[in-house]
Amino acid sequence: MDAKQEQELIQKVQNKERLTQEEGEALYELDLYTLGELADTIRKEKYGKKSYFNINRHINPTNVCADVCKFCAYSATRKNPNQYTLTHEQILDIATNSIEKGAKELHIVSAHNPKDGVEWYMGAFRKIREKFPDVHIKSMTAAEIDFITREYGYSYDEVLDMMIENGVDSMPGGGAEIFDEEVREYLCKGKVTSEQWLEIHEKWHNRGKESNATMLFGHVETRAHRIDHMLRLRDLQDRTGGFNAFIPLVYQKENNYLKNCNFPSGQEVLKTYAIARIVLDNIPNIKAYWATSTINLALIAQEFGANDLDGTIEKEAIQSAAGAKSANGMELDDFIALIKNSGFVPVERDSLYNELKVYN
C-alpha cells in the first residue's frame, strides 16, 4: 500500500465509511499508533474514558467432550485424564457461594458431554433461576446447542426455547473460532459449522435475546480469515442487532495438539482489537478479555478501541488449562485499581451493558 492508498484508507475510516474485505486487510499494514489513534477516536466518541466490567463467575460444569478440537486443552478426552462432571447440587452450591460474594452474572459453559442428557443442562439452569430469580445466566454456546441437537434429536428452535423456559438470559459467543471453512475443518472438524453458528445466534436474536460474538485468533489463521470472520458477524448484526459485544480471543498454546501456529505478537493483538473497533461499526462493545490477552495487554487495549475488560471471573478452567493466568479470577478492588491506574474510569455494568456503578 503506497502513501496515497494509505491516506485514502485513513480518510475512509475517519469518514465512518464501511470497509470491504480488502480494506480491512489493508488496515493491518498501517502503523500501530496510526491504527490505534483511529480506533481510540471511535471509542472515545462512544464511551469517553469509561471501561466496563462486571462481577461474574465462570462455571465449567464438565470437561468430558464428544467433539475433538486441536486447540483445546480442557477436554478430558484428549490429554487430560481427569474427567469430571458436576451434579446440579454442586453447580448450585458454586452459584450460591459466588452470588453471596456479589456475582451478578453466572457464565456457564461446558464441554459436550455425551454421558448427560438434556435435563442435566436445563435442570441446572432451572434450579439456579428458582433460587436466584435476579441473577443473569449467560450460558449455552452455539457449539453446545448444536451438540445437543446432534446427540438427542432436537431442533435448534426446540433447544433455544428450552433454554428460555429454564432461565437462560443470554448466550456467550464460544464455538465461533474462525469461520473460514478450511481452517475450521482443520481446527475442529465435526463441531458446529460457521453457518450453523450464525444460524443459531440469528434464531436467538429473533427471540429478542442478546449474545456475544467471539473470534479465536493467533493460531493457523491468516489476517484475511480474521477480516472475513468480522464481516460475517457484521452482516448478521445488520439483520438482527443482537450482538452486544465482540470478543477477540487470543489463542492459548499450551497442552494441546495444534502445531505450526502463527502466535501473535503484542502488536498484532492490539492491531486486531483496533481493527475490530473500526470494522465492526454496528457491534457496540469490543471486549479485551483479559483471561486470554493477559491483564497488562488488555489494559493497553483500552487505548486501541476496547471498552470492556470482561469481569472478575472468580474461577475459570477452559483458558487456564491452555496456559492463561485466569484460574482464580481477579479481586474486585485490584481490578478497579488497575483500570484507574491505566487512566480510565471503571464502570461496573450488568450483562446487557446497563451501567450499575461508576468508580470515579
- Alpha-carbon distance 88 to 268, whole Å? 42
Give residue for cell 448427560. Answer: 116
80, 321 Cβ separation under 8 angstroms: yes
Radius of gyration of the chain (CA): 20
CB neighbourhood size of 333 (10 A):
8
- Alpha-carbon distance 12 to 200, whole Å? 33
- Alpha-carbon distance 122 to 118, whole Å? 6
CB neighbourhood size of 221 (10 A):
24
Sign of CA dihedral 332, 333, 334, 337: positive
The reported pLDDT for the residue numbered 24 is 98
pLDDT for 321 beyond 80: no
The reported pLDDT for the residue numbered 65 is 72
Q: What are phi and psi of 179, to 5 degrees?
A: -75, -25
The reported pLDDT for the residue numbered 80 is 57
pLDDT for 71 beyond 70: no
User: What confidence tens digit (pLDDT) does each residue in 165-194 have?
Assistant: 999 999 999 999 999 999 998 887 888 999
pLDDT for 322 beyond 50: no
The reported pLDDT for the residue numbered 110 is 84
- Alpha-carbon distance 1 to 67, whole Å? 42
pLDDT for 324 beyond 70: no
Beta-carbon contacts of residue 269 (< 8 Å; ≥ 6 apart): 218, 248, 250, 293, 297, 301
Sign of CA dihedral 6, 11, 13, 14: positive
Burial class (CB in 10 A: 0-12, 13-18, 19+), 294: middle
Q: What are phi and psi of 121, to 5 degrees?
A: -70, -60
| pTM value surpassing 0.75 | yes
350, 104 Cβ separation under 8 angstroms: yes
User: What confidence tens digit (pLDDT) does each residue in 325-346 have?
Assistant: 434 568 888 889 999 999 999 9
Average pLDDT value for residue range 312-320: 54
Between the two ends of the chain, the Cα-to-Cα distance in Å is 43
CB neighbourhood size of 267 (10 A):
11
The C-alpha cell of 44 is what?
472515545
User: What confidence tens digit (pLDDT) does each residue in 94-128 have?
Assistant: 999 999 999 999 999 987 778 888 999 999 999 99
Average pLDDT value for residue range 145-149: 94
pLDDT category of residue 351 using cuts at 50, 70 and 90: very high
pLDDT for 72 beyond 90: no
pLDDT for 257 beyond 70: no
Domains of the chain: 40-358 (3.20.20.70)
CB neighbourhood size of 99 (10 A):
19
